[in-house]
């Protein structure tokens, strides 16, 4: 797929911008702080309903403006669709498809898919587990837009369960009665049901991603692998694996028996549900002390390895970069292989890489149907990525 037109109103630094785009490579060049990332951030937002830089919408609306509008015409095969999002910080966002009446923002998911590479990606390797959970869940949603609903259900159930736990803690502390634990039982079941669905999708994703990430790494940094992707969480081994030493947590290695065979990387939905429910029951006592939910997909991690060593804390800067790029390239290959070739967005990444990694990355992305690249100076972008070029400066996006 590719974007044929991007239109912004009061998005970030832009009062207005209209950018006609074509398939192939397009580069946006201009000094720092001129609005290059703002442009591609808008593209990413239409694909994921989120920014790769900030977690709330407020900074995306131009300072002083009440709302922002982002619109893109997207072509897939011979089908053209227009998606539009209106960002209303503090209020519900609105969406339209093909200028028709309102739809839910979530309904636009899937019309545009992107895989975005950015300097922030280094935190996939070096950052907290939350970064890797977000990576997994965004890709889970790109593969299956319906999962956006499951993710928000999970967040909602978790929040409700946590507030129940908190009131239990408060009641105890003030010598009051114990809360009715049967209510908590019901929330355990909700959390296990929704959590198992998310968990299953994550595990299945990891199984699919593993060979692709390994292949991408081999092409970016020959001989440096193999890449290992191991899901760490409760209770993804469904009771089959060995218990780890992590305070009773089970270390789930989706490499285990039957990985990739069925739903959830080898685990049936029922096994995941039972495992999760069991783990919640086991941690109930500790949760009643702490007032938060201690097990579930919101606490899990994806452990990235190079050879035998975990990348976090061991990999060099260059290796960490290669690994982060490999995860993005694998995401691209996966979506493509499923018939949803995403738009590739490379936001200022070449400046982060040495000459050899730059050249190899360029070779790997150049076949993409549409590749949007930003760079402060054209010299940072390898020659194979010659294509259309825009200059971004002073709030203007001007074709060269
Ligand atoms: N909500 C906003 N309103 C107005 N200006 C903004 C907003 N958000 C960011 N900017 C401005 O956008 C500029 C950064 O643009 P960006 O696209 O990140 O630059 P670059 O070209 O380096 O990628 C900064 O000058 C910042 O002040
Ligand atoms: Mg930038």
Q: Which helix (H) or strand (E) holds 83?
A: strand 79-87
Which atom of ligand 1 lies at the shortest distance from residue 13's CA?
Answer: 5
Which atom of ligand 1 lies at the shortest distance from residue 392's CA?
Answer: 21
Closest residue by Cα to residue 234 from 281, 291, 300, 288: 300
Which pLDDT band, with edges at 50, 70 and 90, does 263 fall under? very low
pLDDT of residue 240: 38
Token representation of residue 314: 């061991």
pLDDT of residue 53: 94
Burial 159-176 (b: 16+ CB within 10 A, else e): eebbebbeebbeeeeeee
Atom 24 of ligand 1, nearest CA residue:
33
Q: How far is the CA of 35 from the centre of ligand 2 (A)?
A: 7
Residues of the chain with CATH 3.40.50.300: 2-113+342-399
Strands 94-97 and 79-87: antiparallel
Ligand nearest, relative to CA of residue 35: 1
Closest residue by Cα to residue 136 from 230, 53, 49: 230
Cβ proximity of 390 and 19 under 8 Å: yes
243 forms beta bridges with 250
Mean pLDDT of 251-270: 52
pLDDT of residue 249: 37
Question: Left (φ > 0), alpha (ψ -120 to 50) or beta: where does 278 sit?
Answer: alpha
228 annotated binding-site participant: no
Ligand nearest, relative to CA of residue 30: 1
Atom 10 of ligand 1, nearest CA residue:
13
Q: How far is the CA of 24 from the centre of ligand 2 (A)?
A: 21
Pocket of ligand 1 (CB under 6 A): 12-13, 30, 32-38, 59, 61-63
Q: What is the mean pLDDT of the chain?
A: 91
Q: How far is the CA of 36 from the centre of ligand 2 (A)?
A: 5
Which atom of ligand 1 lies at the shortest distance from residue 347's CA?
Answer: 23
Ligand nearest, relative to CA of residue 41: 1
Q: How far is the CA of 66 from the centre of ligand 2 (A)?
A: 24
Which pLDDT band, with edges at 50, 70 and 90, does 67 fall under? very high
Asked if pLDDT for residue 177 goes beyond 80, the answer is: no
Instruction: Choose the weakest-confidence range: 167-176, 280-289, 379-388.
Output: 167-176
Which atom of ligand 1 lies at the shortest distance from residue 30's CA?
Answer: 21
Residues of the chain with CATH 1.20.1050.90: 141-304
Give ∠ CA 391-89-14 in degrees, rounded to 5. 15
CATH superfamily of 2-113+342-399: P-loop containing nucleotide triphosphate hydrolases (3.40.50.300)
Token representation of residue 220: 């970016």
Token representation of residue 247: 């305070």
CA 352 to chain centroid, in Å, comes to: 21
Question: Left (φ > 0), alpha (ψ -120 to 50) or beta: where does 98 sit?
Answer: left
pLDDT of residue 255: 41
pTM for the whole structure? 0.92
Which atom of ligand 1 lies at the shortest distance from residue 34's CA?
Answer: 21
Q: How far is the CA of 32 from the centre of ligand 2 (A)?
A: 6
Ligand nearest, relative to CA of residue 348: 2
Tell me how far apart the alpha carbons of residues 40 and 397 are, in angstroms, rounded to a whole number.
12
Tell me how far apart the alpha carbons of residues 53 and 37 are, in angstroms, rounded to a whole number.
10
Domain 141-304 part of CATH 1.20.1050.90 = yes
Token representation of residue 305: 């390895």
4 annotated binding-site participant: no
Cβ proximity of 317 and 334 under 8 Å: no
């Amino acid at each position: 797929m590719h974007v044929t037109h991007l239109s912004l109103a009061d998005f970030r630094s832009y009062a207005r911008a209209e950018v006609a785009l074509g398939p192939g490579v397009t580069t946006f060049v201009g000094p720092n702080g001129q609005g290059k990332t703002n442009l591609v951030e808008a593209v990413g937002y239409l694909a994921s309903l989120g920014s790769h830089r900030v977690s709330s919408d407020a900074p995306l609306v131009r300072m002083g403006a009440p709302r922002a509008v982002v619109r893109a015409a997207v072509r897939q095969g011979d089908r053209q669709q227009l998606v539009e999002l209106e960002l209303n910080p503090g209020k519900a966002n609105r969406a339209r498809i093909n200028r028709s009446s309102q739809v839910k923002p979530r309904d636009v998911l899937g019309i545009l898919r992107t895989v975005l590479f950015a300097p922030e990606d280094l935190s996939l390797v070096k950052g907290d587990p939350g970064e890797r959970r977000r990576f997994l869940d965004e890709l889970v949603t790109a593969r299956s837009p319906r999962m956006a609903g499951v993710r928000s259900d999970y967040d909602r159930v978790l929040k409700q369960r946590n507030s129940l736990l908190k009131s239990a803690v408060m009641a105890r502390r003030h010598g009051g009665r114990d809360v009715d634990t049967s209510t908590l039982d019901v929330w355990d079941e909700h959390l296990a049901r929704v959590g198992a669905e998310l968990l299953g999708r994550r595990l299945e994703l990891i199984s699919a991603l593993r060979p692709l990430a390994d292949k991408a790494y081999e092409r970016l940094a020959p001989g440096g692998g193999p890449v290992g992707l191991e899901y760490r969480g409760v209770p993804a081994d469904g009771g089959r694996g060995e218990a780890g030493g992590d305070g009773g947590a089970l270390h789930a290695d989706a490499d285990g028996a039957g990985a990739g065979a069925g739903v959830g990387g080898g685990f049936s939905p029922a096994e995941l549900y039972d495992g999760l429910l069991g783990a919640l029951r086991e941690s109930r006592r500790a949760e009643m002390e702490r007032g938060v939910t201690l097990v579930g997909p919101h606490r899990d991690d994806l452990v990235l390895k190079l050879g035998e060593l975990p990348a976090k804390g061991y990999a060099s800067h260059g290796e960490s970069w290669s690994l982060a790029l490999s995860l993005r390239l694998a995401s691209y290959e996966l979506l493509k292989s499923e018939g949803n070739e995403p738009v590739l967005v490379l936001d200022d990444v070449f400046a982060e890489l040495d000459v050899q990694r730059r050249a190899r990355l360029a070779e790997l992305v150049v076949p993409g149907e549409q590749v949007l690249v930003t760079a402060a100076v054209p010299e940072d972008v390898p020659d194979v990525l010659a294509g259309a070029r825009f200059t971004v400066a002073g709030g203007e996006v001007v074709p060269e």
